[in-house]
Amino acid sequence: MNVLFFLCGFIAVVFVLFISVYLIISGLPAIQEIGLVDFLFGTTWASTASEPSFGILPFILTSIYGTAGAIVLGVPVGFMTAVFLAKVAPPKLAAVVRPAVDLLAGIPSVVYGLIGMMVLVPAVREFFNLPDGASLFCAIIVLAVMILPSIISVSENALKAVPREYEEASLALGATHIETVFRVSVPAASSGIAASVVLGIGRAIGEAMAIIMVAGNVANMPGLFKSVRFLTTAVASEMAYASGLQRQALFSIALVLFLFIMLINVVLNTLLKRKKG
């Protein structure tokens, strides 16, 4: 029995190693053939052209810009909502808002994509007078909404863990409730809030299905109202029919994405550790 449990205990490690090794093995050949610099910093992706070119800089930059945009829009709203839930909301109101946030987290990404495609894309086209509304801008808004729940719940937990004495001391010195929350509780919970932002970055950079429906999917260099492709959507949109070097290049894109995610995971882990210690 002990051996059996021992094996089960290692299952997560086995899966992580398995995925890493598999991605590295299948991602490296194309990078070797194309050349690391040409692959990472090439600005044209024309995988099906007669003289194919595999530069993924547009995808990398789009993923970075898209994620940054989502963070800029999503973090303030998420952070304020978290502060509201943890410190300001009357219990009865919090009991309504909190389940709403949980529900937002549970909505499948294709549903976000559908709403984005049917409401946001036409609205952006009308409003900014564009030939096609599907753009980086739409993707940023959809991502910002999708990362809200993770930012809210992680920040809220961090804020709730701030010792009550800190706040009482501040109140006793004559600070108002709001001043106490923003000048005492928030700095005390800063590493947890930072962790929530990093978690949001991870979510945004890994999302595929929702943004494939709103970002337009042309391998342009990123521009706010241009049709763009992310690292994730580059893999998803060509996988169905790719073959040969093109297919291997898609695995290499996945490898790049995986390295980004691993980096984010390590940062997240150190932040959470610091909070505990």
Q: Which of residues 60-89 bind other proteins (CB under 8 A)?
A: 76-81, 83-85, 88-89
Least distance between other proteins and beta carbon 227 (Å): 15
Buried b (16+ CB within 10 A) or exposed e, 224-260: ebbbbbbbbbbbbbbeeebeeebebbbbbbbbbbbeb
Based on CB atoms, which residue is closest to other proteins, 16 or 43? Answer: 16
Among 44, 47, 157, 265, binds other proteins (CB under 8 A): 265
From the list 79, 53, 205, the residue with the least C-alpha distance to 140 is: 205
Based on CB atoms, which residue is closest to other proteins, 19 or 224? Answer: 19
Using CB under 8 A, which of the segments 34-42, 124-132, 155-163, 261-269 binds other proteins? 261-269
- The CA-based angle 10-16-17, given to 5 degrees, is 85
- The CA-based angle 53-56-59, given to 5 degrees, is 135
Separation of alpha carbons 154 and 95, rounded Å: 17
Among 5, 91, 127, 164, binds other proteins (CB under 8 A): 5
Is residue 155 within 8 Å of 82, Cβ to Cβ? Answer: yes
**3-class secondary-structure state, position 225:** coil
Using CB under 8 A, which of the segments 33-41, 127-135, 187-195, 260-268 binds other proteins? 260-268
Based on CB atoms, which residue is closest to other proteins, 1 or 37? Answer: 1
- Segment 86-115, which members bind other proteins (CB under 8 A)? 88-89, 96-97, 99-104, 106-115
- Segment 208-227, which members bind other proteins (CB under 8 A)? 208-209, 212-213
Using CB under 8 A, which of the segments 33-41, 45-53, 64-72, 173-181 binds other proteins? 173-181
Separation of alpha carbons 76 and 79, rounded Å: 5
Is residue 136 within 8 Å of 229, Cβ to Cβ? Answer: no
From the list 148, 178, 152, 181, the residue with the least C-alpha distance to 164 is: 181
Least distance between other proteins and beta carbon 118 (Å): 7
Residue 59 CB-density burial (10 A; 0-12 exposed, 13-18 middle, 19+ buried): buried
Least distance between other proteins and beta carbon 255 (Å): 9
Residue 119 touches other proteins, criterion: CB under 8 A: yes
Residue 194 touches other proteins, criterion: CB under 8 A: no
Least distance between other proteins and beta carbon 229 (Å): 13
Using CB under 8 A, which of the segments 32-40, 54-62, 117-125, 220-228 binds other proteins? 117-125
Based on CB atoms, which residue is closest to other proteins, 51 or 106? Answer: 106
Buried b (16+ CB within 10 A) or exposed e, 131-141: eebbbbbbbbb
Using CB under 8 A, which of the segments 29-37, 116-124, 132-140, 163-171 binds other proteins? 116-124
Number of other CB atoms surrounding residue 191 within 10 Å: 16
Residue 172 touches other proteins, criterion: CB under 8 A: no
Of all helices (H) and strands (E), which one includes residue 54? strand 53-54
